Amino acid sequence: MRLSVGVVMLLMYVSPAWSGEADVVAAKAVSEGGDSYRFDVTVRHDDAGWDHFANGWEVVAPDGTVLASRTLFHPHVDEQPFTRSLGGIRIPPRVEVVTIRAHDNVHGYGGVETTVPVP
């Protein structure tokens, strides 16, 4: 009995779902001129390999419109947290603040989001 409980505990520990959701821990917008911006986004996620990793982030307007998304194509097991950028994002002049949210390939969206002012 003790062995089977230990095996179950081990399986729970290495399960991809154990890694939790992807969190945005920092983000900033940098003007590229006009209504174009670059976003530098730092994501933290306990990537567990190809079965469970942070695989993207989005820039979302206050009305819920997705203004841009960045796909992350591989796990960052040994690089946590990690920062990736995306430029050429057009932000309408009326939008003064955006939300950055991260995605992982098991839970989808749902981790910590960050609100960023548009300079």
pLDDT tens sequence across 14-47: 444 445 889 999 999 999 999 999 999 999 988 7
Our count of domains for the chain comes to: 1
pTM: 0.81
- From residue 117, how far is each of 2, 16, 99 by CA, in Å? 54, 34, 9
Helical segments of the chain, H only: 2-14
Q: Which residue has the higher pLDDT, 21 or 1?
A: 21
Mean pLDDT score across all residues of the chain = 85
Give the domain CATH number at 113: 2.60.40.150
Chain centre distance of CA 47: 12
* Structural domain range at position 65: 2-117
